[in-house]
Structure 1
Amino acid sequence: MSLITRTVAAPVVPTSGALRPLGLDEVRITGGFWHDRQQVNGEATLPHIEHWLEKEGWLANFDRVAAGLTASEGRRGREFSDSEIYKYLEAVAWEIGRLGSSGSGGDPARRDALEARFRAVVARVAAAQDADGYLNTRFGHPGQESRWSQLEWGHELYCLGHLFQAAVARERTAPGADDGLLSIARRAADLIVEAFGEHGIQSVCGHPEVEVGLAELGRVTGEQSYLDLAGLFVERRGHQILKDIEYGRAYFQDDVPVRDATVLRGHAVRANYLAAGALDIAVEKSDSGMIDALKAQWQRTIDRRTYVTGGQGSHHQDEAFGEDWELPSDRAYSETCAGIASIMFSWRLLLEENDVRYADLIERTLFNVVATSPSAEGTAFFYANTLHQRTPGEAGSPDEISPRASSSVRAPWFEVSCCPPNVARTFASLAAYVATVDDTGLQLHQYAPTTIDTQLGGGDGRVGGRLAVRVETDYPRSGRIVVRVIEAPSDEVSLSLRVPSWATGATLAVSGGSTETGGSTETGGSTETVSPGAVSPGYVTVTRVFSAGDVLELELPMRPRFTRPDSRIDAIRGSVAVERGPEVFSLESAGLAGVGSGEEEFSRIEIDDTVDPVDAADSADPMGPDAGARLTVTLRVAPEATSEWPYESELNAASDTASASDAEAFTAELLPYHAWGNRGPSTMRIWIPTQRR
């Protein structure tokens, strides 16, 4: 099988599929919500991460190995701490690519500083690599446990997977760079091909990730053996080859073969990483059976095991999915890394199939999980993302490491700090998830002020030539998305815009620089004449010969809406959530004047669901504590229980018991869930009980 040789500056570049990803040199986010996040990520989060990697001694672990000090005490961090250095390197590589993308104007001084930091860290990693390619600071050296001796928990292959992804990011953003990272990765990959190949160790890593790393390393280098090994790891999984543990083998997806599973289960990050890697290999092998199995697993997981935020994982003890419909708000784990892994899986499915469901979930997860994790300043993070915070918690010191994933306040760093660098690499590469092309034209999947400049394929009867557009919008503050054509081929081209599933009543207008509308649109499987009018959820496609100055204007309805849960989700039956556009909103005690912030008072708040939520004034600062549009709702505080026993039969209920409807109503502001916790310790909830009748 011939692998792709063209360089695309994107995290995922399959050799086939319905859609072709665009790189950071083709797509640039120029303003708005996500541009602000990218700026904070580059200017504050990346130096913050490097500071903590140094402060906690995780970078120094490589220096110790290089100096031969492994037999003595002194290694810092958990067994997987190497991976955080690799995720940091990946984030920096994407950020360098973002700053250097075409038309950026850039910041040469910052780019040069990042380049110097990148090379300095790579040099320290290189010094710790063994002569045969082995690279790990926890295993394999004098005074340490031997290589591959703790596959269930050692994370050696997991760490290498992140090394491979860092090397891929570097090669795709700076092809042929002489820093040596790609060579480091290839030597390590060649070693594990020999060690774990067909006639080698017949096992897998307890934490999937190497599969994704090997697949992309194979794609970027053209080395088939890397893809073959990734395929072996996928096929071995599920045959009970790892030791059983207290959580069961489902924890690391070693209970059922991947192609036989019906739903994602076990540790949510591991499950999504494995699914993403399995799909990579299935696409390269044209394995339709595996692809269909993974699509079905994705669908059932979304139908029954995913929170309204897009978050996944309802168990704290094993960071795992619960059973179907087990989605309690106050015990939601919804790890930030699980949200990022979910996006990785959904994006690969979108490239393979071009189905709007995958782009919808990516948007939901980006706004309501990934964007929720970092503080406005980009220097503190949620590890887990609860949907109901019962106690305000206490603000910690900015220099204090958090021992665990408490959700009461954001923390600057964690003993297990996988989430901060994971967020950083996602934000730095975010432009690569905005748009794609195929043989007929361009598809817009996510909305932000953007410039897109790409070369369409051509040849074999396909459209060819330069296509450049500019997207103008302040989404999600408003639903107006304007796409202006800057340059287009002389042939007919298709431009496709995503109409989200919640956007019933959306409209599209098309106008020309010198003529009125022409061509046709296609939406929901039908074709209609282009004119201002309603378009259905899905992809609306306009096909015509475009000229510079042509404009597509999509208007998405942004009226706030009540959302009710499936009645099978016991924990939130009788509650409603409020959504507006892609954002889920939350009620935070810090913004409730005259209502106690403790759970005793906060838990008695009920929503009057006969009154629609209405728009309130927008915040001037999209990154501030009240980020984005704020909404008001009508609430009441239910009467305080007077019984010593918290259960009551209707037959024995006192006739003079006060009802919720007797309580005085008041209005309260809701703010986007991703902005909660920026005003200090607070209680919070997304699902609000409706009035008792």
Structure 2
Amino acid sequence: MSMVVGVPTASPVRPTRGRLRPLGIGEVRITGGFWARRQSVNADASLSHIGHWLEREGWLGNFDLIAAGDPGDARRGREFSDSEVYKYLEALAWEIGRSGDLGLERTFRHVVGRIARAQDADGYLNTAFGHRGQPPRWSDLRQGHELYCAGHLLQAAVARARTRPDADDGLVGLARRVAANICDTFGPDGLDGVCGHPEIETALVEFARTTGDDRYLAQAAIFLDRRGHGRLGDVEWGREYFQDDTPVREATVLRGHAVRANYLACGAADVAVERDDPGLLKAVRHQWRTTVARRTHLTGGQGSRHQDEAFGADWALPPDRAYAETCAAVGSVMLAWRLLLASGDPGCADLIERTLFNVVAASPAADGRSFFYTNPLHRREPGAAPDTDRPSIRAEAAQRAPWFEVSCCPTNVARILASLASYVATTDDEGLQIHQYAPATVVHRPPDSGERRVTVTTDYPDDGRIRVRIDSDDERPWTLSLRVPDWAGRGATLTVHGRTRPVDPGYVIERRRWRSGEEIVLSLPVEPRFTYPDPRIDAVRGCVAVERGPLVCAVESVDLPAGTNVEDLHVDPTRPPRNAGGRVLVCCRQLDRAEHDWPYGDPSAPPVEAGTEPVEVPLVAYHAWASRGPSTMRVWLPVG
């Protein structure tokens, strides 16, 4: 059963100014295809799966212990486990707003009730600090995650306020008390500190947008100004791990822990927009552009180092040791979306598409009950299937695992999938812009006009044909803008009234007095293609990858004949990849390398290599790898 669905403006980001305005989940509905299937699995399987593990591992029960007044030694989970409960709550809120599911509504209210009973009288709320037998409040800002957890609670409240503004469950009031306590504690005359894990900054801005209370915006700005001056001290990975090495306005690239870096940049972008601070916004945009150009994997994944889950130096993008955490991908989407709204830059939408299809979509299994935490581009050993009855170490699982000791990724995936429709389209004073392609309906009611209805029909990304039909009449002209991805090069076309013309990457714009029934068709070239790396990326120099439309492809060992090794496959670059029967094929040969006592030698006398005859090898979409049992895999293939 379901309730009435849809508050038109319900979206995770609602800036008060900017180049574009987002359309909410009450205005955009994904009706089929790739993303609708994933939203359905998220709603039907992932949310209940997450709730089960939160209960089983005691992370929900921690709130009951605090409410009972005696947590003692019974608290379970890491110091930041509260945040997973809050992200779960946020995912529930977006899904209830999307589908109106009454069962999820009951679950939501039950969880809120348990959280509310654990809140202290002055608004403080955390299950790891501040109670009998626990460290004092705010005693470990570097690693304690108290403000980080509070930030995710505020974002859950934002989701609830925007999807069910008349709800009487009490979450928004609870969050107000949390936010007020933070402002009282960390305001200009309070504790001079910041959180080791940024998140509170963007949460406070969004809560200010939701409540209209600018005190929260001011506190977010205070936290940003304090960052980068060494307040968190030194750690083995350096102050950049916390982005506490350089003030936000002076930084030139995202660095340190990749999730922290993206979340902090989101908060900076939000503050810049709300305070009309072009200097701060320019700094964040420059950091983003440099990071995309030099520190981002082909899949859109970010993070090169396992030791600190961090960005490496420029061009340090090893495929086999890529960390590319799922949460960093979610943070990257959040940041690119904010910059898109602020600037209208199509490159932001391009990165969102790449990251969604190749990292976010890769994390959950087809049944929605196991997940990738890290997303390497090369797997040398098949590894063992994870134990389905215990949490995995986060970077341990060679396959998707049902839960992790640090299980931030499942809840992050759940909340972005539930709210995904809000990343599809925007509006401005001129008309509508469609940034991401899926079967969808768009209904927008401009304040100074009638209703604009659009239906998108497509099999994207399997097929590059995107049909957009206008389903409303308008007496005044307005502009419809469609994104042409950068990967499409010069192969895209637009057909209007039977006339076809080539279109370049960026946005193709059609302005007219639209009539119901009119159609335009954007055709994108989704044939498989070779992609070559920048030669400064040492780890993949001399290699090539295969992409098809927005999808990165990979060779997986389960598709190879017995005795064939993905490590020794070399691509013939003179024979382009092709699509046959729905599968991408690439011409390779396997080198039979002779054994040597010493693996180095005179380059003028290379080792003898007896290679097999070239054969066509099938590839899989990267997001689908490891779906058929343990395997080896690689995206970047040597040329030879």
Q: Could you tell me which of 485, 492, 509 is aligned with 2:470?
A: 485
User: Partners of 1:288 and 1:547 in 2: how far apart?
Assistant: 39
CA-CA distance at 1:667 after TM superposition: 1.5
Where in structure 2 are the equivalents of 1:323-338 lying within 5 Å?
Answer: 323-338=313-328
Report the equivalent of 2:512. Answer: 544
Report the equivalent of 1:21. Answer: 22
Report the equivalent of 1:404. Answer: 394
Q: Is 1:677 paired with 2:630? A: no
Report the equivalent of 2:3. Answer: none
Report the equivalent of 2:4. Answer: none
Q: Is 1:510 paired with 2:459? A: no
Q: Is the 8 A contact 1:436 1:442 kept in 2?
A: yes
- Classify 1:473/1:653 alpha carbon distance in 2 versus 1 (closer, same or farther; 3 Å): closer
Q: Is the 8 A contact 1:385 1:407 kept in 2?
A: no
User: Partners of 1:653 and 1:246 in 2: how far apart?
Assistant: 42
Q: Is 1:604 paired with 2:561? A: no
Q: Could you tell me which of 147, 156, 171 is aligned with 1:181?
A: 171
CA-CA distance at 1:658 after TM superposition: 3.2
CA-CA distance at 1:490 after TM superposition: 1.1
Q: Is the 8 A contact 1:589 1:595 kept in 2?
A: no
Corresponding letter in the other structure for 1:566: D
Where in structure 2 are the equivalents of 1:77-476 lying within 5 Å?
Answer: 77-100=77-100, 111-458=101-448, 464-476=449-461
Q: Is the 8 A contact 1:559 1:580 kept in 2?
A: yes
- Classify 1:653/1:44 alpha carbon distance in 2 versus 1 (closer, same or farther; 3 Å): closer
User: Partners of 1:494 and 1:294 in 2: how far apart?
Assistant: 29
CA displacement, residues 609-650 of structure 1 (integer Å, 9 cap, x when unaligned): 1111110223xxxxxxxxxxx201111111223211111213
Q: Is the 8 A contact 2:593 2:610 kept in 1?
A: no
Q: Could you tell me which of 542, 562, 584 is aligned with 1:631?
A: 584
CA displacement, residues 236-281 of structure 1 (integer Å, 9 cap, x when unaligned): 1001111211111100000000000000000000000000011000
- Classify 1:183/1:333 alpha carbon distance in 2 versus 1 (closer, same or farther; 3 Å): same
CA displacement, residues 353-374 of structure 1 (integer Å, 9 cap, x when unaligned): 0010000000000000100001
User: Partners of 1:580 and 1:201 in 2: how far apart?
Assistant: 52
SS in 2 for 1:542: strand
Where in structure 2 are the equivalents of 1:514-593 lying within 5 Å?
Answer: 531-593=499-561
Report the equivalent of 2:579. Answer: 615
SS in 2 for 1:465: coil
User: Partners of 1:658 and 1:10 in 2: how far apart?
Assistant: 57
User: Partners of 1:602 and 1:553 in 2: how far apart?
Assistant: 40
CA-CA distance at 1:435 after TM superposition: 0.1
Corresponding letter in the other structure for 2:65: R
Report the equivalent of 1:627. Answer: none
Q: Is the 8 A contact 2:19 2:342 kept in 1?
A: yes
User: Partners of 1:650 and 1:546 in 2: how far apart?
Assistant: 66
> How many residues align structurally?
633
Q: Is 1:595 paired with 2:563? A: yes
SS in 2 for 1:231: helix
User: Partners of 2:397 and 2:598 in 1: how far apart?
Assistant: 31
User: Partners of 2:312 and 2:49 in 1: how far apart?
Assistant: 34
Corresponding letter in the other structure for 2:456: V
CA-CA distance at 1:288 after TM superposition: 0.4
User: Partners of 1:651 and 1:537 in 2: how far apart?
Assistant: 44
CA-CA distance at 1:283 after TM superposition: 0.3
Q: Could you tell me which of 599, 607, 619 is aligned with 1:646?
A: 599
SS in 2 for 1:263: coil
Corresponding letter in the other structure for 1:667: E
User: Partners of 1:134 and 1:113 in 2: how far apart?
Assistant: 30
CA displacement, residues 129-185 of structure 1 (integer Å, 9 cap, x when unaligned): 000000000001111100000000000000000000000000100012100000110
CA displacement, residues 327-374 of structure 1 (integer Å, 9 cap, x when unaligned): 000000000000000000000000000010000000000000100001
User: Partners of 1:591 and 1:652 in 2: how far apart?
Assistant: 34
CA-CA distance at 1:407 after TM superposition: 4.7
SS in 2 for 1:447: coil
Report the equivalent of 2:54. Answer: 53
Corresponding letter in the other structure for 2:496: V
Corresponding letter in the other structure for 1:646: P
SS in 2 for 1:532: strand
Corresponding letter in the other structure for 1:266: G
SS in 2 for 1:541: strand
- Could you tell me the TM-score, scaled by structure 1's length? 0.90
- Classify 1:653/1:46 alpha carbon distance in 2 versus 1 (closer, same or farther; 3 Å): closer
Corresponding letter in the other structure for 1:427: L
Corresponding letter in the other structure for 1:536: D
CA-CA distance at 1:457 after TM superposition: 3.4
User: Partners of 1:378 and 1:647 in 2: how far apart?
Assistant: 46
Q: Is the 8 A contact 1:443 1:496 kept in 2?
A: yes
Percent same amino acid among aligned pairs? Answer: 58
Q: Is the 8 A contact 1:335 1:385 kept in 2?
A: yes
SS in 1 for 2:329: helix
CA-CA distance at 1:396 after TM superposition: 2.2
User: Partners of 2:102 and 2:578 in 1: how far apart?
Assistant: 47
Corresponding letter in the other structure for 2:634: R
Unaligned segments of structure 1, at least 5 residues? 1-5, 101-110, 459-463, 517-530, 619-629
CA-CA distance at 1:418 after TM superposition: 0.2
Q: Is the 8 A contact 1:505 1:557 kept in 2?
A: yes
User: Partners of 2:382 and 2:126 in 1: how far apart?
Assistant: 40
CA-CA distance at 1:404 after TM superposition: 2.6
Corresponding letter in the other structure for 1:41: N
Q: Is the 8 A contact 1:315 1:333 kept in 2?
A: yes
Corresponding letter in the other structure for 1:557: P
Q: Is 1:76 paired with 2:76? A: yes
CA-CA distance at 1:7 after TM superposition: 7.3
Report the equivalent of 1:496. Answer: 481
CA-CA distance at 1:400 after TM superposition: 2.2
Q: Is 1:44 paired with 2:55? A: no
Report the equivalent of 1:33. Answer: 34
SS in 2 for 1:502: helix
Corresponding letter in the other structure for 1:79: E
Q: Could you tell me which of 583, 608, 614 is aligned with 1:665?
A: 614
Corresponding letter in the other structure for 1:191: N
Q: Is the 8 A contact 1:263 1:301 kept in 2?
A: yes
CA-CA distance at 1:509 after TM superposition: 1.0
Unaligned segments of structure 2, at least 5 residues? 1-6
CA-CA distance at 1:403 after TM superposition: 2.1
User: Partners of 1:651 and 1:632 in 2: how far apart?
Assistant: 33
Report the equivalent of 1:108. Answer: none
CA displacement, residues 283-332 of structure 1 (integer Å, 9 cap, x when unaligned): 00110000111111001001100000000000001000000000000000
